[in-house]
């Protein structure tokens, strides 16, 4: 009886918080304390050996050129003095060695194992798990691949920043929530990256975990912490693999900034233009941004002229059924792939975007946690977008001289101000959609002028956006 009263008190207090913050809680006060679910991390990857066959990928240097980071580095603006927090389950037993190999290949700092260990700090707030690659139901291999991508992406974009890798002992929602809370309350960094999630359509009678995690994100936004939180919107289109369009949590939480995906095309050093249907079975080196489409590998391959297009990643992005439309998101338009406008009732993700294609992924990345998969890989998905934006935010924090904290209201105020695109700070992605699989019967959402569900406000020109972010 006493335990039930304590549970009720906890649920009631969180429900009051949800009411204060404008989140509906009528269905949450009946949460079952013993219900649980596991977050999913499922980065998509192909062997680097695909590339001699003309499979598109992007090195660190190419991504830096595409998103205009080099002018910042030239001024010493690289995240120095900041720490980016990455939260994952299980981690990777070879993350130090794999990051060192990645650094060596791409000519990045931290060129010895001692330097890597000095700057990459690993925390196990719920206990250190023993890596078990045979744990198929909980996908420890996927989580180790995710960890490797996250760490490599952050270091590629913010090479001066330290990394705090917070490893949950399992992907259970309550365990991950404890890891996130640890990162927040111990002030481990200025920004948190989360490349995991769970589709809202499966969240039934699991409300206590949602309330716990929502409290964490609200806490991060408070002045005592002022931590920015990013989350990926998913790789299985607007439906997230379900029977209808639904958002991925926690990207759908209004205190998180949801990162959607694109397929990136570049102008190359030999004047070759990617994404113009002129694929020639050769490798070209990208030197400047050309354009992006809503993240859909089938459509991206087709745009490039690749002979065997396929669905690998299709970005998420949809309207939440759990959270109402925030005031700061008022005025956006949600459009289905056939052009039909959808009435808005809930919080919509994505908010921003980044290259998510496996066709065009970051690579090569070294992975050796599971011996049969040891080698060099191209790893993509919206999993890449959350650590990219976290790293970019750390760079903006260096410019600002302080944490940016909760950026969503400022982000949308800037968007509504009318200069996000005319200034060049954001790329407006207006082509493609996130129907999955390609040609599926459940229509996804269309990329349109201005905000849209697959790509949010757009992807950044970092050199132009970072000074603006520093004022938020």
Q: What's the CA dihedral at 144, 192, 42, 257 to 10 degrees?
A: -170
- Per DSSP, the three-state class of 135 is coil
* pTM attached to this predicted model: 0.93
Q: What's the CA dihedral at 10, 199, 46, 153 to 10 degrees?
A: -50
DSSP secondary structure letter of residue 179: H
Residue 424 is predicted with a pLDDT of 98
pLDDT digit string (tens) for 357-381?
999 999 999 999 999 999 999 999 9
Q: Which residues neighbour 422 within 8 Å (Cβ) at sequence distance 6 or greater?
A: none
Contact 435/237 with Cβ under 8 angstroms? yes
pLDDT digit string (tens) for 272-302?
999 999 999 999 999 999 999 999 999 999 9
Contact 332/344 with Cβ under 8 angstroms? yes
Quote the CA–CA distance of 453 and 461 in Å, as a whole number: 20
Residue (of 152, 64, 92, 194) closest to 378 by Cα position: 152
Residue 307 is predicted with a pLDDT of 95
Quote the CA–CA distance of 355 and 214 in Å, as a whole number: 27
Residue 206 is predicted with a pLDDT of 57
275 HSE (CA, 13 A, CB side): 24
Give 342's pLDDT tier (boundaries 50, 70, 90): very high
Sign of CA dihedral 406, 407, 408, 410: positive
Contact 412/328 with Cβ under 8 angstroms? yes
Q: H or E element: which one contains 73?
A: helix 70-74
177 HSE (CA, 13 A, CB side): 20
> Which residues share a beta bridge with 51?
none
Residue 325 is predicted with a pLDDT of 97
Q: Taking 70 as the threshold, does the pLDDT of residue 111 lie above it?
A: yes
Quote the CA–CA distance of 97 and 150 in Å, as a whole number: 15
When pLDDT is averaged across residues 161-175 and rounded to a whole number, the result is 96
């Amino acid at each position: 009886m006493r335990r039930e009263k304590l549970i009720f008190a906890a649920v009631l207090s969180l429900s009051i918080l949800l009411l204060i913050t404008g989140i509906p809680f009528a269905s949450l006060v009946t949460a079952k304390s013993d219900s649980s679910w596991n977050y999913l991390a499922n980065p998509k990857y192909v062997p680097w050996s695909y590339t001699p066959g003309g499979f598109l990928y992007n090195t660190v240097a190419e991504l830096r050129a595409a998103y205009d980071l080099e002018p910042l580095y030239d001024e010493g603006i690289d995240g120095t003095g900041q720490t980016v927090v990455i939260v994952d389950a299980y981690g990777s037993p070879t993350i130090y060695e794999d990051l060192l190999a990645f650094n060596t290949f791409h000519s990045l700092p931290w060129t010895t194992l001692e330097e890597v260990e000095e700057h990459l700090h690993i925390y196990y707030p719920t206990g250190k798990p023993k890596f078990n690659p045979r744990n198929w139901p909980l996908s420890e291999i996927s989580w180790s691949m995710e960890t490797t991508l996250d760490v490599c992406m952050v270091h590629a974009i913010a090479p001066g920043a330290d990394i705090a890798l917070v490893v949950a002992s399992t992907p259970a929602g309550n365990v991950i929530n404890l890891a996130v809370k640890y990162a927040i309350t111990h002030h481990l960094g200025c920004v948190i990256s989360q490349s995991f999630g769970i589709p809202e359509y499966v969240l039934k009678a699991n409300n206590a975990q949602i309330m716990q995690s929502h409290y964490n994100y609200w806490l991060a936004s408070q002045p005592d912490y002022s931590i920015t939180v990013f989350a990926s919107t998913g790789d299985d289109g607007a439906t997230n693999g379900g029977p209808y369009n639904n958002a991925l949590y926690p990207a759908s939480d209004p205190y998180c900034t949801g990162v959607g995906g694109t397929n990136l095309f570049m102008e190359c050093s030999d004047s070759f233009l990617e994404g113009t249907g002129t694929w020639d079975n050769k490798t070209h080196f990208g030197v400047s941004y050309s354009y992006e489409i809503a993240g859909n590998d089938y459509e991206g391959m087709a745009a490039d002229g690749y002979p065997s297009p396929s669905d690998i990643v299709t970005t998420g992005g949809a309207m939440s059924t759990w959270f109402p439309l925030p005031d700061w998101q008022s005025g956006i338009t949600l459009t289905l792939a056939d052009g039909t406008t959808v009435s808005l009732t809930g919080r919509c993700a994505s908010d921003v975007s980044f290259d998510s294609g496996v066709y065009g992924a970051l690579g090569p990345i070294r992975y050796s946690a599971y011996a049969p998969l040891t080698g060099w890989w191209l790893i993509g998905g919206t999993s890449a977008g959350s650590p990219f934006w976290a790293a970019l935010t750390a760079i903006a924090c260096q410019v600002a001289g302080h944490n940016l904290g909760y950026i969503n209201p400022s982000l949308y105020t800037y968007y509504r101000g009318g200069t996000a695109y005319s200034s060049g700070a954001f790329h407006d992605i207006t082509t493609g959609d996130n129907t999955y699989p390609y040609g599926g019967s459940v229509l996804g959402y269309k990329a349109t002028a201005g905000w849209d569900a697959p790509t949010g406000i757009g992807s950044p020109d970092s050199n132009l956006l970072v000074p603006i972010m520093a004022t938020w």
